[in-house]
Amino acid sequence: EAQVTQNPRYLITVTGKKLTVTCSQNMNHEYMSWYRQDPGLGLRQIYYSMNVEVTDKGDVPEGYKVSRKEKRNFPLILESPSPNQTSLYFCASSIRQGKGMNTEAFFGQGTRLTVV
Amino acid sequence: AQSVTQPDIHITVSEGASLELRCNYSYGATPYLFWYVQSPGQGLQLLLKYFSGDTLVQGIKGFEAEFKRSQSSFNLRKPSVHWSDAAEYFCAVGAPGNTPLVFGKGTRLSVIA
Whether the Cβ atoms of residue B25 and residue B4 lie closer than 8 Å to each other: yes
pLDDT of residue A104: 77
B21 touching chain A per CB within 8 A: no
* Residues in chain A closer than 8 A to B92 (CB atoms): 105
pLDDT of residue A94: 85
How far apart are the CA of A16 and the nearest CA of chain B, in angstroms? 27
What single-letter DSSP state applies at residue B14?
E
CA–CA separation, A44 vs A33, rounded Å? 10
- Of B7, B6, B19, the closest CA to residue B112 belongs to B19
Name the phi and psi angles at A32, rounded to 5.
-135, 150
- Best B10, B89, B101 member to test A by mutation, with max A CBs in 10 Å, is B101
Q: Does residue B30 carry a pLDDT above 90?
A: no
pLDDT of residue A113: 97
Confidence band of B6 (pLDDT split at 50, 70, 90) = very high
CA–CA separation, B94 vs B87, rounded Å? 23
Neighbours of A34 (CB within 10 A): 28
CA–CA separation, A113 vs B89, rounded Å? 22
Name the phi and psi angles at A63, rounded to 5.
90, 0
Window from A50-59, A96-105, B22-31, B101-110 with minimum mean pLDDT = A96-105
N-term to C-term CA, chain A: 36
User: Mean pLDDT for chain A?
Assistant: 91
Average pLDDT over residues B46-71: 93
pLDDT of residue B60: 94
How far apart are the CA of B5 and the nearest CA of chain A, in angstroms? 11
For residue A73, CA distances in Å to A21, A36, A53, A76, B19 come to: 11, 18, 11, 10, 39
CA–CA separation, B43 vs B56, rounded Å? 26
- Cα angle vertex A104, ends A100, A107, to 5°? 130
- Of A93, A116, A113, A101, the closest CA to residue A36 belongs to A113
Nearest to B96 among A100, A108, A109 (CB): A100
Whether the Cβ atoms of residue A103 and residue A97 lie closer than 8 Å to each other: yes
pLDDT of residue B4: 92
- Best A43, A68, A89, A94 member to test B by mutation, with max B CBs in 10 Å, is A43
Nearest to B34 among A90, A104, A109 (CB): A104
Q: Does residue A6 carry a pLDDT above 90?
A: yes
* Residues in chain B closer than 8 A to A9 (CB atoms): none
User: 3-state class of A52 per DSSP?
Assistant: coil
* Residues in chain A closer than 8 A to B95 (CB atoms): 101-102
Q: Is the peptide bond before B96 cis (omega within 30 degrees of 0)?
A: no
